[in-house]
Every structure is written in structure tokens, then in C-alpha cells.
Structure 1
Amino acid sequence: MDQLNERHPQVYLSAEQIARPAADALVEAGAEAELLVLGSRAFSGFGGFMAGSVALATVARVARPVVLVRADRTAEDDHLPDEKGRPSLRTPYRDVVVGVDIAHPCEELLAFAFESATLRSAQLQVLHTWHVPYAPPAAAATMSGAAQQAAETALDGALQPWREKYPAVKIRTPVENDRPAQQLLRAAQDARLLVVGRRNRPARLGAHTGPVVHAVMHHVRCPVVIVPQDLLARRHEKPSRHGR
């Protein structure tokens, strides 16, 4: 704590030791927090967060956004390498990446992503996928073209208020025929931050994460922010055309 106070004198810091299961304590603390931050020292063989860790149990239950950060993450990792491929603090930030499902409320998710990109003057990638069931070859091309166009139009409409509210943020909107987890994993390889939503998934044996969140927690190396669906559902009002 002394070292942290010396390095960050402008931040009020406190510490507490609690004699109870870690996930229970974190869920309780996170209920009153704006953001819960979890570090990880144990990693899977795929380079992500370790399955079965406290992080998995906490993320499945906490009612506030959670950010997962690897313990070996450095400030240089947030930036693009320099012209010689070396780590640097003077190069632009890597992209912020957010995955959205426009069929579900995503206002809080997009707000977090746009604010993160704004704070770092970073480009924002807003990812969306579509998938059509198997069709005969003669109909597949037509169905795929229509699905691609519909997805691009829907995403553009959903983002228009945010473009107006955050005009300084540069946005990329890749729309692909793919599984959501696969698209997110590819984009996160060079990202500074990945932002995803988590739907409520009650079960007989307790809450659990869905397949997309599970995949990014296992395989993504950059910091990951997970925003719970019940938080998204309380924020139905989109930003107005006047930015209010």
C-alpha cells in the first residue's frame, strides 16, 4: 500500500482483508462499485484467463461492470509499437473493441466503449456478426447478401446517435458472417481493450457466463470489460440527437 500511495498520491486507496470466499466478497463489494477490477496471475495454455478462477465465479454473479487485467500487463502494451516494432509509450493507443448484439439493449455497453475510446483518443471498433441457417447453394448467395445488408443497416442506425454524441471518435464497423466469439478473439489480438456484454443466465447450479464471455475470458490477452445484461436493461434511453 505504501508503494501504491507513493506512485498514485492523487488517488484515495484503502485495503481490507476479508475471511470469506473471494468470489462472495468481490460480488458484495462490486454491488456498490462503479467498476470492479480483477487481476490474474494464472493463465490458460491459450494465453487468456484461467478457467475456474475466482474471476469466472465473480463475473457470473456481479451486478456491475467488471474489468479483467493480466498481472503482467504493461503500459506499453496499450500502445502500438514504434516504427521499429519496439514497445513505446509515445505511439497512438491500440483500438478499443466492443461487440454488440443490436437485438438486445446495448446503450450502457456502447457508452462504456465510446468513453474509453474518447479518454485515450483511440479508434473504436464496433463488431457485429450475422449468421443464416444452412440453405441450398442456389439460395445461399441471395440470403447471405440480404443478411449482410440488413446487419450493416441496423448497426449504422444503432450507432448514429453515438456518432453525433462522440464526433471525435473514429469508428470502424466490421460486420461479418461469423460466430461472435471468433470475431471478437481475432479483433482482440491487437486491441487495447475489449468490451462485451453478459446476459443473465440463471441455472439450477447457480449463475454462469455464456459462451461468448467464456471464450474471451479464456483466450483474450488484452484487458476485458464485461457489462452485465441487467445493467444494460435499466438503460433503455438512447442519447438524443442533441447529445443529452
Structure 2
Amino acid sequence: MDDHVTAGIDGSPESRAAALWAAGEAVLRRVPLRLVHAVDWPLDPVFPGVGGQDADRWADQVLSETAQELHGRHPQLEITTRCPTARPSAALAAEAADAALLVLGSRGIGGLVGFLVGSVALSTVAATDTPVVLVRTADAAPDGRDTGTDAGGGAGAGAGAGIVVGIDIHEAGDRVLDFAFEEAARRGCPLRAVHGWKLPPAYSYVPFSDPDDEREIGRSVTRMVEDMLLPWRQKYPEVAVTSSVFRGSPGERLVQESRGAGLVVVGRRRRRSPLGPHLGAVAHAVLHHSAAPVAVVAHG
């Protein structure tokens, strides 16, 4: 039953940012918020003398303090808490199963470098089909203030800034586009669709390329992008949509477009690897270098 937003918290500044962002999103969606703190027991030996009761007590304190802060910002928001005992990535993936959205914190490392995405976040993203948003401490205050609303509603969470979505004409991206358009409609903000293309591999064996051929390929790709966007333009006529079709790396362009954006949306193929969590090259680049919060939507 995907009628709520879930935020994973652990007492860190990054998780506080995630809780603030998630609260703003829950208000926008007019759904409850669930705060989850997973207690990983037994604890690491670097914490000698810390028992299960201590860990549970600390987790309860983190949850209650976070919920209290959010209630102060959003008196109308229904907030529940959960404290499962399990590996964080497994617990968060399980909690995400019946949620509309999972929000996690990720450490920002400054400048244009962007995110430091830890193993828990990567494992959780790879383990759930629920859309996951990663935020940093800076993302809790996109307009210079903490994310929040007054008692009458409305939200921060980058609500006034535009949304950027990366699309791939070679993939079935319905879930990605539906998420991006719905978020833009919810926020009343513009949406920019980005697609990068490359010349076919056979061109690497040709001593010279015909500029006319390249232009024709570009026009053909542009038409396919517009055809892909058309049903969503019709479904969400209130959303102002622009598209950017170019020859080059989509990951680099999405990172550039992320500056000043309220949210970047990327897709990932549902794929399980025996070597562990796997993200595509574009999602990986955006997750690590985006200047805005990133939503990862599973598809395929």
C-alpha cells in the first residue's frame, strides 16, 4: 500500500536532511511520513560495552527527536516510526516495499564533487523497486532555509525549482517519465528532459564522417525523444516541458543540468548482479556528482 513516504534515519546530519526533505515531500503528496531507524545487531566491535538495550534506547531517542522536530514544522503531518533489527540496507528495502517513495541521506563532499554514496545507500537502491531519493545536508535548504512548510501546507524540498529527467530512447522509461512528470505537476515547476546520443559503433571504422549524416541522426533522435514525451505531455498538460538532445555523455550533461535544479530523476534497469549492487553508468555518475537531490527509479 504505497500511501506514505519513508525516510531512513540514523542520527547523522545527512539523515536529518533526508527526514526534512521527506517531510516536505509527504506534505506535497498529502500522505503520512514513516521514519525508520534500523538497529544492526550485533554492533561492530569498535563500540565495546554497548549492548542491545543501549542501541534500542538510542534509536528510540533519534526517532522521537526527529519526529518531534518534524511535527513542529508540519503540525498537520501524520508521522509514524519504526525500529527494525536488521542490516540497514535490508531493513530499508523491506520498509520501502509498501511505500510510494524512500528518502535517504548521503554525505555531500563539497563543490562540484557532489555525493559520497555509501554502501548502505547503494545496496538499498539496488534492492528495491520503489523510487529512492538521495539528499545531502545542503539539500535540506534549497532556498537558504531548512526544508519546511507553514501550517497551511506547501513545501520546500526544492518545490519551486525545476526538475531534470534523463531519458533513454532505447529503454522502456514509462516509470521514469511518469515519476518525473508527476513530481513536476505536484510542485508546479518546469521539467527538462535530457537525452545524449552517440554515433553507431560502425562509424569508428570510417576514416571520415559526413556532417550531413550526423545531422540526420540528430534529427532522427530528436523526433524519437519527442515521440517518447508526447503521451506524457498530453497526460500532464500543466507541466512546462523542454527537451535537450545532444551528442555526448548523458551523465555529464545531467550533472551540468543539476545545478540550480530542485531534483534530478534517473532510471536504472532492474538487474541483479552476483557481485553486488549494480547501477548503470549514467545513474552512477549522477549519484556521485549531482548538485541536486537525485531520484533513482527502477524500470524494465
Deviation string 1:153-172 (CA, Å, 9 cap, x unpaired) is 11111112222222222111
User: Once the 2 structures are TM-superposed, how far is the Cα of residue 14 of structure 1 from its aligned partner?
Assistant: 1.5
Match of 1:5 among 71, 78, 90: 71
Q: In the aligned structure 2, how far is the partner of 1:14 from the partner of 1:38?
A: 17
Distance 2:90 2:109 in 1: 22
| 1:121–1:169 Cα contact (<8 Å) kept | yes
> Which stretch of structure 1 is more off in the superposition, 157-166 or 22-31?
157-166
- Which string of whole-angstrom CA distances, capped at 9 and with x for unpartnered residues, describes residues 167-222 of structure 1? 22211111000112111111112211100100123222233112111111111121
User: Aligned-pair distance for 1:42?
Assistant: 5.1
| SS of the residue 1:209 aligns to | coil
**SS of equivalent residue, structure 2 residue 79:** coil
2:283 is aligned with 1:213? yes
How many residue pairs get aligned? The number is: 218
Q: Which residue of 1 aligns with 2:80?
A: 14
**Residue 151 of structure 1 corresponds to which residue in structure 2?**
221
Q: Of residues 36, 53, 68 in structure 1, which corresponds to 2:102?
A: 36
The equivalent of 2:35 in structure 1 is: none
Structure 1 residues 208 and 138, CA, compared in 2 at 3 Å: closer, same or farther?
closer
1:161 paired to 2:228? no
Distance 1:218 1:55 in 2: 12
Q: Which deviations, in whole Å up to 9, do the C-alpha atoms of 1:69-92 show, x marking residues without a partner?
A: 1123204169xxxxxxxxxx9xx9
Cα distance, 1:94 vs. partner? 2.3
Match of 1:117 among 181, 184, 189: 184
2:297 aligns to what SS in structure 1?
A: strand
1:201 aligns with 2:271: yes
For the pair shown, the structure with the greater C-alpha radius of gyration is 2
Cα 1:110–1:76 change in 2 (3 A) is same
Inter-partner Cα distance in structure 1 for 2:117 and 2:235: 38
Q: Which moved more, 1:26-35 or 1:207-216?
A: 207-216
Secondary structure of the structure 2 residue equivalent to 1:174: strand
Question: What SS is found at the alignment partner of 1:101?
Answer: coil
For the residue of structure 2 that corresponds to 1:139, the secondary structure is: coil
8 A Cα contact 1:94 1:192, kept in partner: yes
Distance 1:48 1:24 in 2: 25
Match of 1:240 in 2: none
Specify the SS of the correspondent of 2:115. Answer: coil
Instruction: Provide the rounded CA distance (Å) in 1 between the counterparts of 2:79 and 2:231.
Output: 37
Q: For residue 173 of structure 1, give the secondary structure of its aligned residue in structure 2.
A: strand
1:48 aligns with 2:118: no
Letter of the 2:166 partner, please give it.
G
**Higher normalized contact order (CA 8 Å, seq sep 6+, divided by chain length):** 1
Comparing 101-110 with 47-56, greater Cα deviation is found at: 47-56
For structure 1, the residue ranges without an aligned partner over 5 or more in a row are 79-88, 234-244
Moved more, 127-136 or 210-219: 127-136
The 3-state SS of whatever aligns with 2:209 is helix
Aligned amino acid, residue 17 of structure 1: C
Percent of aligned pairs sharing the same letter? 38
Which residue of the other structure, out of 86, 100, 118, is the alignment partner of 2:167? 100
CA drift of 1:25 comes to: 0.7
TM-score (norm. length: structure 1): 0.81
Matched with 1:58 is 124
State TM-score, norm by structure 2: 0.67
* One-letter amino acid of the structure 2 residue matched with residue 156 of structure 1: E
Deviation at 1:29, TM superposition (A): 0.7
Alignment-derived partner of residue 129 in structure 1: 196
Flag the 1:140–1:203 CA change in 2: closer, same or farther, 3 A.
farther
Q: Using the alignment, how far apart are the partners of 1:77 and 1:102 within structure 2?
A: 37
Q: Does 1:188 align with 2:258?
A: yes
Q: Alpha carbon RMSD of aligned pairs, Å?
A: 2.2
Distance 1:176 1:136 in 2: 21
Q: Distance in 2 between matches of 1:41 and 1:52?
A: 8
- What one-letter code is carried by the residue in structure 2 that aligns with 1:36? L
In structure 2, how many angstroms separate the alpha carbons of the residues matched to 1:2 and 1:167?
Answer: 39
